[in-house]
Every structure is written in C-alpha cells, then in structure tokens.
Amino acid sequence: MDKYYYLIAQLPMLFFDLDPGITTQSFLEEAGKWMSPSDFSLLKKTHLSDTAIREPMTQLVRNYRAFEKQLLEDLVQLRKARRNHQEYKPSFPSALVKEGNPLEVEKKLLHHRWMFLEELSVGHHFDLDCLSAYCLQLQILHRLSLFNKEKGLIIFQTLSRKTE
C-alpha cells in the first residue's frame, strides 16, 4: 500500500476534455510495477463500458458499474419513450440529452460519468479505488480524444457520396 503513494504522486492530474499526457496503456504499465499482483489484476479489469457486477471488485468499481448500467438503461427507455411520443424521467438530468447534436450529447454524458467518478473518489487518495477512478477517467479522456470533427466530416462526406 505504501508504494501507492509513490505511484499516485507521479501521475499527472486529469482534467475533463484536456490531454492527460499519459495513455491508459502506459498508466497500466507503470501501475504494474508498483501494485500487488492481486490489486493490479483488479485494476486491469476496470473498463468504462463494463456493467457486469462480479466478484472480486472494489466498491468504487461496483458503484460505477451500477451507475453505468442504470445510465444505459435510462437511455434505452428514454429513446423508446420518445419514439412512442411518451414521457420518461431518467435518473440523470434530462437536459444532458435534450439539446445538441449527437457529439455534444455524448460529450455531456461523458462529463456526467466523469463527475460521478469525482464524487466516488472523495476520500480515496492513495488506494486501489483512487487508481480505479483514475483508470476510468483516463478511458473517458481517450474516448473524447477519438472525437475529431474534421475526420468525422470527411468520413461522413465519403459515405454520403457512396449512397448518392
């Protein structure tokens, strides 16, 4: 556990929608040097889109997965309700998905996930939960980095020409 102080102290701070200066892969490589094999095994299994609740896992990861599962279920129900011209009240602020293009909505949902992880991280400074939250936030930043307006427009235009 005392090695976690050194590991966490050397990690760059993460800010939503800013380049982290570290990849998830390089983070895991460095973490593997400092962590116990059992903790590292748990950390490697920490994935942003995984909603399965199975043992063993940390409490933070369990809470995040329950949150993610509820978020995805709410999105499905919200879309069904809209398609059928019905009302549905999701567990998240509906303003996240009411306005904006799909990219803007996705960014808002990623920010919502980020903020939830920030809440879960309170009180976890030098432990496995802290590293798990860091890993999940790195994955959010990686996903954000994949959104490239210029490349997306080129792909859209190419696909549009093929259908004409």
Encode pLDDT of 11-41 as tens digits. 999 999 999 999 999 999 999 999 999 999 9
Which pLDDT score is estimated for 31?
Answer: 97
| Token pair listed for 157 | 């235009």
Residue 78: what pLDDT? Answer: 95
Mean pLDDT by 10 residues, the chain (164 residues): 87 95 96 95 94 88 96 96 94 92 94 98 94 98 87 77 70
- What's the pLDDT score for residue 3? 83
pLDDT recorded at residue 151: 73
Looking at residue 164, its pLDDT comes to 62
Q: What is the pTM of this model?
A: 0.87
Longest C-alpha distance within the chain, in Å? 62
Torsion of CA 107, 74, 91, 54, to 10 degrees: -90
d(CA 108, CA 98): 11
Query: What per-residue confidence (pLDDT) applies to 163?
Result: 64
Domain limits, the chain: 2-163
Quick check: 143 and 48 in contact, CB under 8 A?
yes
Interhelix angle 2-10/24-34, nearest 10 degrees: 150
Asked if 142 and 27 count as a contact pair (C-beta separation under 8 A), the reply is no
* pLDDT on residue 150: 77
DSSP letter at 17 equals T
